């Protein structure tokens, strides 16, 4: 582990001391009692304990215990890149070939929202649609009533398509539901090619970022150990597809703005608000690492692009508390964010190409599990201290940033996602646009 100087000098290697860790814990407002340290008795809950036990984190049971009205649960511990996923998607293709051969499914009229308690002839069409795709059991029958059986089936359909599982059929649910069966079949066939290309050995431990799903899997020995909600690149600044290896974690990092952000964001913001850099603790440095006062820059030109913009560590830092590094030609990385509310959005395609990670500290501890000083409590202590610290992993962890918009899992559930970057070749599959 190396702790970085807050100046522009290179980071120098140091060892974390026990005192340093306890000092970091104290910065959060908690400390070990002397009696607990000497007697080995139970420790009073510290602020770090409260963080570790915080309940508002992605729930594992929510991820993996989705209710179903017909077949297995929607979520699975099997990774998308499991070797057997190719077999599962081939089975799904055979199933959808049968659906297409049988005439597909009906289009559900989208003239009004449908929800629990509604009675309408449209619900008869909805029931048939859900039965054909396997979301509603045929034993539920055909009627005008949007009852609890239909409610559960709609929620299952929504979860399979990465939609909020609220049981209400609105704009996006209708758009996903009314993609024709033959188009869904083509989407499965397109993604079979992608999955075949990744069906080899990917490592005992690896991280997979699935861009259309805006989701991250942390995989060990062929099982998903963590799933994280993510925010990926917007359409105009797409997250790239790449393979690399995570080698370093930056805690309390600086953020250095890419030239594209200086040009597209910082210059226009400074034109509107000359105090923007000061308000956001962003410093400007010249080619010899000398600090440049913002008042000396002509913001009506692109002069600023030739300078380096660095945001200091802190609560408003664009990368939040952590940055996850891996070599790549696109200068992208995984990171935390101070804007936690963005993870609650349905459409999480808002970044400039990098990937923001919900509950990033869980992922940090998972990545650094075999690295001295990389346990969760130590990571929390470092972050609490506010000191700029780099943690080099004992063993690099492979990362695969990929584009999979359709797949099937071991429980026979077929998953589809919005083709946000329109790489599947059919406009109807980019239904959020």
Helix boundaries (H) for 53-170: 60-64, 85-101, 121-132, 148-160
| Shared-domain flag, residues 306 and 331 | yes
| Shared-domain flag, residues 276 and 380 | yes
The pTM (predicted TM-score) of the whole model is 0.79
Domain end among 171, 193, 215? 193
Residue 37, C-beta contacts closer than 8 angstroms, at least 6 positions apart? none
Residue 101, C-beta contacts closer than 8 angstroms, at least 6 positions apart? none
Query: Is 246 contained in some domain?
Result: yes
Domain end among 158, 193, 228? 193
| Shared-domain flag, residues 333 and 241 | yes
Query: Is 154 contained in some domain?
Result: yes
Query: Is 110 contained in some domain?
Result: yes
For tokens 């449209």, the residue is 122
Give the residue from 328, 338, 331 showing the smallest Cα distance to 252.
338
Within a 13 Å sphere around the CA of 318, how many CA atoms are in the beta-carbon half? 20
Tell me the residue range of the domain where 363 lies: 203-402
| Shared-domain flag, residues 189 and 208 | no
| Shared-domain flag, residues 255 and 177 | no
| Shared-domain flag, residues 280 and 219 | yes
Catalytic status, residue 330: no
pLDDT at 266: 96
List beta partners, residue 41.
Answer: none
Domain end among 144, 165, 193? 193
| Shared-domain flag, residues 386 and 295 | yes
| Shared-domain flag, residues 362 and 342 | yes
- Give the span between the Cα atoms of 402 and 285, in whole angstroms: 35
| Shared-domain flag, residues 140 and 212 | no
Catalytic status, residue 354: yes
Give the residue from 199, 197, 219 showing the smallest Cα distance to 207.
219
CATH number of the structural domain spanning residue 340: 2.40.440.10
Query: Is 17 contained in some domain?
Result: no
Report phi then psi at 255, rounded to 5: -120, 120
| Shared-domain flag, residues 254 and 321 | yes
Question: How many domains, the chain?
Answer: 2
From the list 161, 228, 330, 335, the catalytic residue is 335
Query: Is 217 contained in some domain?
Result: yes
Query: Is 408 contained in some domain?
Result: no
Buried b (16+ CB within 10 A) or exposed e, 124-140: ebbbbbbbbbbbbeeeb
Per-residue pLDDT of the chain (433 residues; tens, 9 = 90+): 544 443 333 333 333 333 333 333 333 333 333 333 344 444 345 555 555 555 455 543 333 322 334 445 666 789 999 989 999 999 999 999 999 999 999 999 999 999 999 999 999 999 999 999 999 999 999 999 999 999 999 999 999 999 999 999 999 999 999 999 999 999 999 999 999 999 889 999 999 999 999 999 999 999 999 999 999 999 999 999 999 999 999 999 998 998 889 999 999 999 999 999 999 999 999 999 999 999 999 999 999 999 999 999 988 888 899 999 999 999 999 999 988 888 888 788 889 899 999 999 999 999 999 999 899 999 999 999 999 999 999 999 999 999 999 999 877 899 999 999 999 988 888 867 6
Query: Is 31 contained in some domain?
Result: no
Give the residue from 176, 252, 223 showing the smallest Cα distance to 419.
176
| Shared-domain flag, residues 242 and 387 | yes
| Shared-domain flag, residues 162 and 223 | no
From the list 161, 228, 330, 354, the catalytic residue is 354
Query: Is 239 contained in some domain?
Result: yes
CATH number of the structural domain spanning residue 165: 1.10.101.10
């Amino acid at each position: 582990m190396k702790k970085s100087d807050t100046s522009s000098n290179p980071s120098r290697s140091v060892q974390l001391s026990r005192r340093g860790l306890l000092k970091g814990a104290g910065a959060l407002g908690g400390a070990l009692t002397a009696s607990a340290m000497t007697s080995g008795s139970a420790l009073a809950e510290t602020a770090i304990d409260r963080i570790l036990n915080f309940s508002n984190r992605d729930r594992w049971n929510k991820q993996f215990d989705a209710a179903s009205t017909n077949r297995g649960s929607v979520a699975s511990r099997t990774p998308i890149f499991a070797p057997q996923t190719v077999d599962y998607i081939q089975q799904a293709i055979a199933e959808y070939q049968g659906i297409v051969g049988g005439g597909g499914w009906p289009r559900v009229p989208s003239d009004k929202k449908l929800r629990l308690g509604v009675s309408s002839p449209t619900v008869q069409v909805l029931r048939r649609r859900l039965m054909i795709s396997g979301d509603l059991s045929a034993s539920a029958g055909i009627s005008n009533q949007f009852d609890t059986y239909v409610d559960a089936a709609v929620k299952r359909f929504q979860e399979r398509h990465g939609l909020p599982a609220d049981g209400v059929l609105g704009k996006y649910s209708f758009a996903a539901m009314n993609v024709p069966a033959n188009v869904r079949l083509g989407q499965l066939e397109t993604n079979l090619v992608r999955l075949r290309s990744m069906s080899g050995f990917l490592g005992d431990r690896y991280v997979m970022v699935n861009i259309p799903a805006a989701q991250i899997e942390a995989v060990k020995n062929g099982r998903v150990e963590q799933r994280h909600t993510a925010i990926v690149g917007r359409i105009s600044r797409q997250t790239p597809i790449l393979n690399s290896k995570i080698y370093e974690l930056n805690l309390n990092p600086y953020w250095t703005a890419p030239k594209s952000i200086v040009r597209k964001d910082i210059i226009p913001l400074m034109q509107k608000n000359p105090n923007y850099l000061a308000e956001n603790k962003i410093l400007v440095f010249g080619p010899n690492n000398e600090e440049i006062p913002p008042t000396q820059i002509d913001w009506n030109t692109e002069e600023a692009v030739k300078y380096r913009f660095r945001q200091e560590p802190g609560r408003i830092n664009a990368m939040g508390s952590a940055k996850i590094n891996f070599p790549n030609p696109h200068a992208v990385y995984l990171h935390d964010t101070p804007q936690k509310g963005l993870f609650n959005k349905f459409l999480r395609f808002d970044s400039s190409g990098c990937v923001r990670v919900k509950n990033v500290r869980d992922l940090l501890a998972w990545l650094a599990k075999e690295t001295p000083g990389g346990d969760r409590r130590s990571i929390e202590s470092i972050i609490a201290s506010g000191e700029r610290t780099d943690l080099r992993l004992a063993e690099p962890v492979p990362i695969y940033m990929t584009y999979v918009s359709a797949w099937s899992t071991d429980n026979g559930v077929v998953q589809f996602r919005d083709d946000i970057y329109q790489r599947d070749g059919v406009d109807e599959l980019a239904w959020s646009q």
